[in-house]
Every structure is written in structure tokens, then in C-alpha cells.
Amino acid sequence: MRTTNHSSLLKKHFFILFLVFCVEVDAQVSTIPYKDLMDLFTSHAEKNKLKQEKEKKLNLSVMPAAGYAMHTGWAGILTANLALHSSGDTTIQHKLSSIATNITYTAFKQVMLPIQANIWSRNDKLNYQIDYRFIKYPSKVFGLEDDAGVSEGYFVKYSGLKLHQTVMGSIGKNLYAGLGLYYDLLWNIHEVDPPANVKTAFQQYGISERVQAAGPALKLIYDSRMNAINPTSGLLASMAYRNNVKWLGTDAAWESIQFDFRKYVKFPSNSNNTLAFWNLNWFTLKGKPPFLLLPSTGWDDTYNSGRGYIQGRYRGRNMIYLESEYRFQISKNGLVGGTFFVNGQSFSHNIFNAYDAFKIGYGVGLRLKVNKHSGANICIDYGFGKNGSRGFAVNLGEVF
């Protein structure tokens, strides 16, 4: 396993994106004068043929790419995003369902096979959420809470399986409540070249070669966004309580809760620019979660928090995270856009104790429209953090 310092590579600011193909399956004739990457590679005859096809409700974007990130090194990625309306009535506006994956293999021999789905039933009465992942994942670890520990970090190697699913029903306009089952399994956990003559935070917290956590989840969501892939307005406010119980196989019982708030405002109001806000509060209520399942930088459900820092840079029993982003259109046809962002994260051992100082991150990003119907963008961001931390973050679909 490579454990060399990557700062010299990061300073080169390299990023390569190879666009091979985008597939749009959408026969609805759009009057929007926007363009996406597919338009650049589709002839006029092919466009007319597409318009004459049988009406369909699907928008599929497929994007092979290569990139560089702090926690992966160089990586090959196959990302796919499917957007669809569950209702066949196109005269009524319904929430957009989505299924996404980012199949990744990296220079550090990391393997990531995720499937995330947010499906709405007809008339938006039911919402199904799925987060399935397999990872074979050497990952850097550091200290806890107050930034103590190994400043350069070192690798912990393991494999993991995540199976999270929730079903929610409507209890009011844009308000949903439901139950889920969360299951996490980590195995073959071992340190790779830990620093000599130092008892690391991972060792102090407690090492196990195998970790299992399972239990019911209670979820409450208010979601007025019409498109979760690229929101331009609306509010998301969610609460997810997780109770890991021994009778379902959990090694040691523990409880956690997450509060997730996201607000989107068009600014200026007559433009296509969006001011977005994100607040994630992730608390341990009881027990001792495994070290690798503690709240941590970049380990939220979408692995997107903390741009400007390597994944896992900060970790603790409790986390408060804040981020704001301004998304703006560069080209009039919507093909190219940009963003400025700033974020802060703080950790504490106890919910009611003082939290450490916020670690600030900030940066800029480029947006390339992959699918003008679903709003899916290629998001290429470069972030900066404290003590010289910096690096790329790449997504298909907005960070939040």
C-alpha cells in the first residue's frame, strides 16, 4: 500500500475528464433553449429522430471519467444517473425520482460500487430511499475531535458493505414519515504501516478486525424540492434516528441521530442562479460506535462534506457541519456554469460540551450540463482547507 505524502502531486492541480458518451432517453419536446453535452455530439437528424420516438419518461446520463482526489489518487470512474417521473401524467408537476451510481477503481486499489435511489410513487404519496454500497477501501485516519493524533495520517485497510433502506408515507404536504432498516458490515480491518512508537487514536479507541451494526431507523422528512439532482428552490429538512441493537447482530449497541437541513433560493430572483445552504448535525446519543462509523469528514451519506479536506481528516462522536454555495450560470444556454463554496466542521466528544474550532474549507467549481432535462451536471470542484490542505472533488449531480 502506498503511504507516501501526496502534497507534491496535489500542487500540480491535475485533473482529466474523458467524455465518452451521454445517453438521453426523453421524447418529450423541450421548449427550453438550453443545451447539454449530448447536444454537442448529436446531429440535427438524430435530434429529429429522437423527437419522433415514442414518449418516454426516462433521462439517463452515463459518464466514464478519470480524476484525481486526495483520498483516492488517480481514479477511473463510471458514473450513471437515471431520472424519471413515476406518474404518467405529464400535465401535473411531480417530484423527480433518481437512481445513481459511481463505480470507481483508484490508484490506491480502492473499489467502490454504490447504488443510491430516491423513488417517488404515483402522486408522490410514498417515498423509497435506498443506499447500497460495497467498498474495498484503504482509508486514511487521523485523530479525534481536537485535531490531535497523526498529522499526516496513515492508512487503515478494510472492506465494507452498507445496506440502508427506508420507506416513507405522506402525512402532510411535502411531509413524510417512515421506517427503515440499516445494516453495516466491515471486515478485514487492519492498519497499514502505523507510525512507530505512537499509540494512535484508532488504537486507543479500540481495534476489531470485524465490525457489524444493524438496527431499525426512524425517519422524518419535509421536502419541497421538485428535483433532488439539481435543486434550484425549496427546502429539505430531515431527521434520521438509528438504533443499533444486538438482537439484529450489532456487536455493541449504540444509537445515533442526524439532522439534515438544505435550503435553495434563486438569487437574483429573476435569474437561473441559486444560493444553497446546508447544515448537517450528526450526533451519537448512546453507546460506542465503531471508530470507522463515527461522524467524520466526507463520510456523510453522499461522501460530499468537507470539500478542501481529505476524507476522514476529522472525526468524533458528534459533528456539526455548515456549508453555503453560490451556483451561477456562465453560458446563456446553460451548458457551462460555476460555483463558489465555503464550509465549516466542528467535533465534540459530548453533544453538550464545547465543540472545537470550526475547520474552514472553501473553493470554486465548474459545472458542465450532462442532461438538460434532469438537470444533471458534472461537478468539478477544487477546495482549500487549513494547514495547506487542498484537492479536487468530482460528482455527477450537485454536492447537496
Bridge partners of 278, per DSSP, are 262, 323
| Rama region for 399: left / alpha / beta (φ>0; ψ in -120 to 50; rest) | alpha
Give the total number of structural domains in the chain: 1
* Domain assignment present for 340: yes
* Domain assignment present for 13: yes
Place of cell 477546495: 383
Phi, psi (degrees; rounded to nearest 5) at 83:
-115, 140
Rounded-to-integer distance, Cα 138 and Cα 381, Å? 23
Nearest of 359, 364, 366, 365 to residue 388 by alpha carbon: 359
Rounded-to-integer distance, Cα 94 and Cα 89, Å? 9
pLDDT of residue 12: 35
Whether residue 289 is preceded by a cis peptide bond, meaning omega within 30 degrees of 0, is no
- The SS3 assignment for 81 reads strand
Q: What CATH number is given to the structural domain containing 189?
A: 2.40.160.50
pLDDT of residue 219: 97
pLDDT of residue 162: 97
- Averaged pLDDT, groups of 10, the chain, 400 residues long: 36 35 36 66 55 55 73 80 68 76 87 91 89 92 71 88 96 95 96 85 88 97 89 95 96 96 94 95 96 94 90 93 96 91 93 82 94 83 90 83
DSSP string, 340-391: EEEEEEEEESSTTSPPPPPEEEEEEEEEEEEETTTTEEEEEEEEE-GGG-EE
Bridge partners of 162, per DSSP, are 133, 184
Q: CA angle 266-22-299, nearest 5°?
A: 60
Rounded-to-integer distance, Cα 18 and Cα 108, Å? 20
* Domain assignment present for 252: yes
* Domain assignment present for 2: no
- The SS3 assignment for 31 reads coil
pLDDT of residue 215: 97
Q: Which domain does 133 fall in, by range?
A: 7-396
Reported pTM: 0.82
DSSP structure class, residue 7: H
* Domain assignment present for 324: yes
Rounded-to-integer distance, Cα 252 and Cα 258, Å? 20
Residues 6+ apart with CB under 8 A from 333: 33, 34, 35
Residues 6+ apart with CB under 8 A from 167: 126, 127, 128, 129, 178, 179, 180
Q: How many residues does the chain have?
A: 400
pLDDT of residue 102: 84
Residues 6+ apart with CB under 8 A from 35: 333, 334, 335, 369, 372
* Domain assignment present for 261: yes
If you compute the radius of gyration of the chain from its CA atoms, what whole number of angstroms results?
21
* Domain assignment present for 257: yes
* Domain assignment present for 147: yes
Cα separation values, 285 from 98, 244, 253, 290, Å? 32, 11, 11, 14
Nearest of 222, 230, 225, 284 to residue 254 by alpha carbon: 284
